[in-house]
Chains A and B, each alone.
Chain A
Amino acid sequence: MQVDEATVRRIARLARIKITDAEAKSLEGELSGILDWVKQLDEVDTANVEPMTRVVPIELKQRADKVTDGEIADQVTANAPMTEDHFFVVPKVVE
């Protein structure tokens, strides 16, 4: 068992997902099962292997540092659950 309930709660907090006590319990088993299963990768010798960074060898594209888009605040905020004058509204974060 690699993941205990405290760890489940810690990662749920990191992931910003609220979980119930019952969920924490069942996730403990599910996550441990998956992590035990992926541990079979330890059988592979990767001592002198570079990690993959791209599947297709392409040059990273560059473009001129120019504004290509913008002035669309209406569109940017159109789908927000709460807005005011083109600002996103969230609960107070500074006392």
Chain B
Amino acid sequence: MTDLTKLTLAEARDGLAKKTFSATDLTRAHLDAIEAANSALNAFVLPTPDHALAQAAESDRRIAKGEARPLEGLPLGHKDLFCTKGIRTTACSRILDDFKPPYESTVGQNLWDAGAVMLGKLNNDEFAMGSSNETSAFGPVISPWRRNGKDGNPSTDKLVPGGSSGGSSAAVSAGLCLAATATDTGGSIRQPAALTGTVGIKPTYGRCSRWGIVAFASSLDQAGPIAKTVRDAAMMLKVMASHDAKDTTSVDAPVPDYEAALTKGVKGLRVGVPKEYRVPGMSKEIEDLWQKGIDWLKAQGATIHEISLPHTKYALPAYYIVAPAECSSNLARYDGVRYGLRVPGKDVTDTYENTRAAGFGKEVRRRILIGTYVLSAGYYDAYYLKAQKVRTLIKRDFDLAWDKVDVVLTPTTPSPAFAFGEKSGDPIAMYLEDIFTVTVNMAGLPGISVPGGLSSEGTPLGLQLIAKPFDEETLFRAGQAIETAAGRFDAGAAWWTGAAGARSQQAGAKAGKSGGKS
């Protein structure tokens, strides 16, 4: 039998329909892969094999009866930011301790109602605050990707998988699940997708329900998938998106058939290239990648137009007012009284202070304090109100651009994956990871990252496409065009597979080096 963990979501769906293998076979193959890989990659914080096999058995019954649903029997990873009924949900923070939600998130419920199988909960930066998955209380996720080494073998430097959805990106890239859920507040779907050679889409604000997702910054948070291909991402989003009365910002609009958009091509599509994204000090290889993206779309019939988004450089500083402000407000609920960790003190205030000091990690504490400061008496107008006005201008830039173009093309990140510790000393250096992605959240727009090529270090780089609100179909069209031209990228031979990996490390390492286009 072929290696079932190498299949795309769409290929697995077809294989199940043809009864080439069963949902149980498919699920077992992924559970085995997780068991072999997790000690090296730390992508899953809670594998749920019994739950997965029970779901797979139900899927096999349905398939036998000819009653398969859209994602029937397809095993997925689920970011630990999504509440799962009766299954521990932590947002990868100590403060949630052993929290077992009595309800399921709407996005999760949509997936299980469509027949998908949950393999387990995926690691992420604590409360989704980070760009490297280093802030998780469960420890960092290691990317399956490695840099080229000097001696022809891959370097053994441990690279970050991006963040905050680092468990999602690493797991999809290493073949531990067919696709994964993720969330994006400033780039947390697109940046990890870019750093791992996977596809990630953050839909328009309001497209997916936020109900049952642990809140970080409520005016920015959106759920979306990380997947192996553009088609797989389309299959996932179609099911994840829905109108939900339980989220007042969820939009009551039909969800299009995104897969159908994939074949529409880009002939006549007007593609905007924003000059402000040519930031000072941008590396040559990022510029070259961007130019390749332009050339690919042009060759397939799109027209290219330079556009101006003058407030681009202010998006990141405005974000680092709005997001911490909303975070400080949202995270006020963790008080050691109703759920999660409690560290007793001499009175109730002391209990709150002890609990929050012990329960939140360093970056989360830093953001809560920044947020508390900018919202405090006397500073609200200078910071929060100012940032929300700048946000209006950022959105206006895009509104004007949509008169001239249908979609915007940019790089996803300013650089390829970095190694652990390379950026963790300086918060602002880490925040700059999101320089190209954060504008999209500030304006509530949909954005997708599609692999575009490999860096000189042999690691993936992503191209980002941005579209009008609720025009995810154009992102899938243009994303497909890039994928068709660029090809797919995989991390090469599995150096991360436990004992077997240790035995064949030398051989695996050699093969891993070629880890590239496939």
> What is the interface of chain A, defined by CB distance below 8 A to chain B?
3, 7-8, 11-12, 14-19, 27, 30-31, 33-35, 37-44, 46, 49-56, 58, 60-61, 63, 72, 75-82, 88, 90-93
Contact = CB atoms under 8 A, between A and B. Distances in A.
B221 to A, nearest CB: 12
B388 interface: yes
Interface of B: 98-100, 102, 204-206, 219, 245, 248-249, 251, 311, 313-314, 317-318, 320-321, 328, 332, 335-342, 344-354, 356-357, 360, 365-366, 368-370, 372-373, 376, 383, 385-393, 395, 427-428, 442-444, 469
Given A55-B469, A60-B248, A92-B347, 14 more contacts: A15-B356, A30-B427, A37-B317, A38-B383, A40-B317, A41-B317, A44-B314, A52-B391, A54-B249, A56-B444, A80-B339, A81-B339, A81-B340, A81-B342
B311 to A, nearest CB: 7
A49 to B, nearest CB: 4
A38 B316 CA distance: 8
Nearest to B364: A17
Contact of B389 (A49, A56, A81, A88): A49
Nearest to B387: A41
A61 B247 CA distance: 10
24 contacts: A8-B369, A11-B372, A15-B368, A17-B368, A18-B354, A31-B369, A31-B370, A38-B318, A38-B320, A38-B321, A38-B387, A39-B317, A49-B392, A51-B385, A56-B204, A56-B249, A56-B444, A72-B102, A79-B99, A79-B338, A80-B339, A88-B338, A91-B347, A93-B348
A41 B360 contact: no
B369 A44 contact: no
A17 B345 CA distance: 12
- Is chain B's interface secondary structure helix, strand, loop, or mixed overall? helix
A30 B339 contact: no
Given A18-B354, A50-B392, A33 B427 contact: yes
A56 B317 contact: no
B320 A80 contact: no
Nearest to B391: A52
A59 B481 CA distance: 35
A52 B392 contact: yes
Contacts of A31: 366, 369-370, 373
Given A14-B376, A17-B356, A81-B341, A41 B366 contact: no
